[in-house]
């Protein structure tokens, strides 16, 4: 991955902007995706998943903690998918 500026991720039609470092340090899915293993660099990355649990996981990646009330089956399933 050449760029270290913010990236935009479209998750199920909702866009999120974050740093690549936030994603690759916490997700084997994004590590592979952003390392070029799965394709070339794009202005926006599309992830065909539900944006609500993704928002919870992105907050966790940024802060390092998660509220117990935010842990749902959907969040756990997406966490497993993203590695």
Between the alpha carbon of residue 81 and those of residues 13, 18, 28, the distances in Å are: 18, 19, 9
The first and second tokens of residue 16, run together, are 């999120």
> What are the pLDDT tens digits along the chain (83 aa)?
445 688 899 999 999 999 999 999 889 988 888 876 555 556 688 999 999 999 999 999 999 888 999 899 999 999 999 98
The first and second tokens of residue 69, run together, are 């009330």
pTM, two decimals, is 0.82
Say how far apart CA 6 and CA 4 lie, in whole Å: 7
**All structural domains of the chain:** 7-82 (3.30.710.10)
pLDDT at position 35 is 79
Say how far apart CA 83 and CA 60 lie, in whole Å: 13
């Amino acid at each position: 991955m050449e760029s270290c500026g913010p990236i935009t991720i479209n998750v199920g039609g909702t866009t999120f902007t974050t740093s690549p470092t936030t994603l690759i340090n916490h997700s084997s899915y994004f590590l592979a995706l952003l390392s070029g293993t799965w394709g070339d660099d794009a202005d926006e990355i599309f992830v065909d998943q539900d944006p609500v649990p993704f928002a919870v996981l992105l907050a966790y990646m940024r802060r390092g903690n998660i509220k117990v009330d935010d842990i749902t089956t959907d969040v756990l399933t997406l966490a497993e998918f993203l590695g």
